[in-house]
A and B are shown apart, each in its own frame.
Chain A
């Protein structure tokens, strides 16, 4: 028996599917043991089934995860590891809230919503740019920088939420609810809003077009495979890095606006505990898609369903907020192990006499 490196890679769906199955099995064991036998594998399967089949309930999480997943994919394709989705998302939320509450555009729903999305796009882009500039021009690793920027974003949003923007009537740690005219319009029978759906489809198509037909898309791909070729082709490596992170942040920022308009309708303190951490969960979505744009919605659907399942288990009264993270963590870990193993194969050579 010998272990050799594969010349021809496995079909790309094998690793994510295996990671899901094995990761869920591991989660079942963990939850069974940790709950002292209260949460049985049967309960988990049931809640997963419920999670997968409740399309209406799942829809908004799904759409947000697709947008964030695509945003991360744009930078991951260039081997630029944007771990700062959370920060870019919340800067988007904050600027969208400013438009809805204080800009004076709220008199017209259409203008206000457009402005919310535009400002969130700029905010997310700006936040990513702060990490992109040192990465491109000083070669400072983007992973710790984008990660730390998440916490800065959390604290800025928290600071303004319990300070300047705090609602005065009851004195809760939150902003007032955004005006009716700026709320996104819910589609009947689902939890998703029309604007969120349009945004998701538009971003999907634009990013698909970018990677298929534009030089920028190709440059981002070559940035990960051979930046030296970019240089000798006369293309600025710095600018390509900058664009990859900037676009990534812009897309994720827009998800922030959609979240405010469709889901939360206000910002409440502490922000980091009020969402499932789209910026982090999006990393899992992007990875499970194997950085294939077409597979992002599939990955987002699965992760969205597991998220609903996790909440169901919490509702059963056992486990805590961490149940969702057990799922996500087990799958991501299994994925990381499998992706390494998948580059090799085991060959059994039978000795002939």
Chain B
């Protein structure tokens, strides 16, 4: 071990004479009202896993989009293998051997896995016989340990499997550099670990991986080097060996890093029951039961956290509570009224806030501005919209949540992912006067912001006697915020613990049992 650390140290202390595979020189990119990237200089070397870390809106995504030709920089130059290049579109990037895998898979649902891959190759006038595609899929499946049948239609696949298809396509395109834009951040822990192994192997065989993430542990687990971006600038590049989470946090957040802690937040003082779920049965997207007889109670003044590996019925349970999915059997009682036959609209008018999964798809309309995204919720406007009221509310939310936006009239699409999430979370927290229902409420947020959001939710629960039902795939979040921890597995509730008595090992065991 000692020799390994030493050799890596000597490697980094002497500047490498090898030409970097990618070199960025003075890259600058402006968007209306903001400078996303400000004079970025960066070198990426062959055979390395290079992580780009940064808080929300730091410019990580903009940088990789420039490398992939989705954006063109306003200034600066890109060198590949020491030669200056122009990357005018993804096709150019792919020809240079750069392939991106994003967090939302870009594949066609109706086609099979093979067809999708063939289609991707055909556009580049490349050809690979089906047999070779199957071999490659099997090979990668084996390394990662996630099985895929190449002849199934894509819509039947899980999120993990779709990500794998994207990676296989990238490899068949002859990728020398894989850009992973939060591509594995949202995978279940077990599967994430399997992907790490694959990434390592790809790098060991001479490939290069650029990993974009806002999760420090993810970068520490798999990367060789970490470059931290902050407000569009490079803070620094450090080798993973010889650095610590604390050091990276300081680079990412500055003084704010001291606020980061995973201690359990103060417990609430639960009073009367506001939400009661009795023997609930709900069907999933494919017609089979996703929730199988769940029982649950949420009291005012407490946070009930639902822990579970993605795809165990949490999503369907949450949607059924919000009346966005029909209930097959059982009852949901909210505020002493059976809401099984009521609508989402009823809940909206009666003090329920809702933070859905995939915020850009279900939570906001990115073409509309912040004011419109608030006014659309029936909680805030009746038939006639009171814009004065909406505007003062918007200014209040922008101030309290530090939403970075030129103005409340800015279309949401010009905000960074984290700021979009803040618009959604702040709006729904305001709407939730009795109950907040949420699924992964801090998913797209960086650590410092995520912890602040949890604190805000918790203080609202305690001070305003609000109830919260929060499902999350992030176990740290569940342990930090909950008063009661509920474990869900295969559509059933398999454990209920008071937060101060819950043991992490026990919960983890129940989740994967």
Could you tell me which A residues sit within 8 Å of B by CB distance? 2-4, 7-8, 213-216, 218-219, 221-222, 224-226, 228-236, 347, 349, 351
With a 10 A CB-CB cut-off, give which of B346, B354, B365 has the most chain A CB atoms: B365
Say whether A233 contacts B361, CB under 8 Å.
no
Q: Which of B155-163, B174-182, B206-214, B379-387 contacts A (4 or more CB under 8 A)?
A: B379-387
Tell me the bound Cα distance from A232 to B372 in angstroms.
15
| Interfacial residues of chain B within 69-109, with CB under 8 A of chain A in the complex | 71-72, 84, 86, 88-89
Say whether A219 contacts B86, CB under 8 Å.
no
* Known A214-B384, A228-B361; contact A347-B72, beta-carbon cutoff 8 A: yes
Say whether B356 contacts A232, CB under 8 Å.
yes
A226 neighbours in B (Cβ, 8 Å): 361, 364-368
Beyond contacts A4-B88, A232-B354: 11 other A-B pairs, Cβ-Cβ < 8 A, are A2-B88, A213-B385, A213-B387, A215-B384, A215-B385, A225-B365, A226-B368, A229-B373, A233-B348, A349-B86, A351-B84
Tell me the bound Cα distance from A222 to B375 in angstroms.
11
Question: How many A-B pairs with Cβ below 8 Å?
Answer: 92
| Residue from the list A7, A8, A214, A233 in contact with B377, Cβ < 8 A | A233
Residue of B nearest to A233 (CB): B377
Q: Rank and list the top 8 A-B pairs by shortest CB-CB distance, nearest first.
A: A234-B344, A226-B365, A234-B345, A2-B88, A225-B367, A234-B348, A225-B365, A229-B365
Taking the closest CB of chain B, its distance from the CB of A273, in whole angstroms, is 41
A222 neighbours in B (Cβ, 8 Å): 365, 368, 372, 376
Say whether A2 contacts B368, CB under 8 Å.
no
* Known A215-B375, A215-B381; contact A231-B368, beta-carbon cutoff 8 A: no
Tell whether B332 is near chain A: CB-to-CB under 8 Å: no
Main secondary structure, interface of B, reads loop
Tell whether B362 is near chain A: CB-to-CB under 8 Å: yes
Tell me the bound Cα distance from A2 to B322 in angstroms.
48
| Residue from the list B71, B89, B323, B385 in contact with A214, Cβ < 8 A | B385
Tell me the bound Cα distance from A347 to B73 in angstroms.
11
Say whether B72 contacts A229, CB under 8 Å.
no
Residue of A nearest to B377 (CB): A233
A8 neighbours in B (Cβ, 8 Å): 32
B377 neighbours in A (Cβ, 8 Å): 233-234
Tell me the bound Cα distance from A215 to B373 in angstroms.
12
B32 neighbours in A (Cβ, 8 Å): 7-8
Say whether B362 contacts A234, CB under 8 Å.
no
- Flag B15-40 by CB within 8 Å of A: 1 or 0 each: 00000000000000001100000000
| Residue from the list A213, A225, A349 in contact with B366, Cβ < 8 A | A225
* Known A2-B72, A235-B345; contact A221-B372, beta-carbon cutoff 8 A: yes
A229 neighbours in B (Cβ, 8 Å): 362-365, 373, 376
Say whether A218 contacts B387, CB under 8 Å.
no
Tell me the bound Cα distance from A186 to B242 in angstroms.
88
Say whether B362 contacts A232, CB under 8 Å.
yes
Total residues of chain B contacting the partner, CB 8 A: 40
B88 neighbours in A (Cβ, 8 Å): 2-4
Tell me the bound Cα distance from A230 to B343 in angstroms.
13
Taking the closest CB of chain B, its distance from the CB of A208, in whole angstroms, is 14
Say whether A232 contacts B385, CB under 8 Å.
no
B347 neighbours in A (Cβ, 8 Å): 234
| Residue from the list A4, A213, A230, A236 in contact with B376, Cβ < 8 A | A230
A230 neighbours in B (Cβ, 8 Å): 376
Tell me the bound Cα distance from A219 to B383 in angstroms.
11
Say whether A231 contacts B367, CB under 8 Å.
no
* Known A222-B368, A225-B367; contact A234-B384, beta-carbon cutoff 8 A: no
Residue of B nearest to A224 (CB): B367
Taking the closest CB of chain B, its distance from the CB of A348, in whole angstroms, is 11
Tell whether B324 is near chain A: CB-to-CB under 8 Å: yes
Tell me the bound Cα distance from A222 to B364 in angstroms.
10
Tell me the bound Cα distance from A127 to B497 in angstroms.
59
Say whether B384 contacts A232, CB under 8 Å.
no
Say whether B378 contacts A234, CB under 8 Å.
yes
A214 neighbours in B (Cβ, 8 Å): 383-385
Tell me the bound Cα distance from A299 to B366 in angstroms.
28
Residue of B nearest to A7 (CB): B31
A228 neighbours in B (Cβ, 8 Å): 361-362
Tell me the bound Cα distance from A321 to B361 in angstroms.
49
Tell me the bound Cα distance from A106 to B383 in angstroms.
38
Residue of A nearest to B77 (CB): A352
Tell me the bound Cα distance from A221 to B375 in angstroms.
12
With a 10 A CB-CB cut-off, give which of A3, A233, A351 has the most chain B CB atoms: A233
B345 neighbours in A (Cβ, 8 Å): 234-236
| Interfacial residues of chain B within 316-337, with CB under 8 A of chain A in the complex | 322-324
B356 neighbours in A (Cβ, 8 Å): 232
Residue of B nearest to A216 (CB): B383
Taking the closest CB of chain A, its distance from the CB of B149, in whole angstroms, is 30
Tell me the bound Cα distance from A228 to B89 in angstroms.
30
Tell me the bound Cα distance from A225 to B71 in angstroms.
23
| Residue from the list B72, B343, B349, B372 in contact with A218, Cβ < 8 A | B372
B385 neighbours in A (Cβ, 8 Å): 213-215, 218
B89 neighbours in A (Cβ, 8 Å): 2, 4
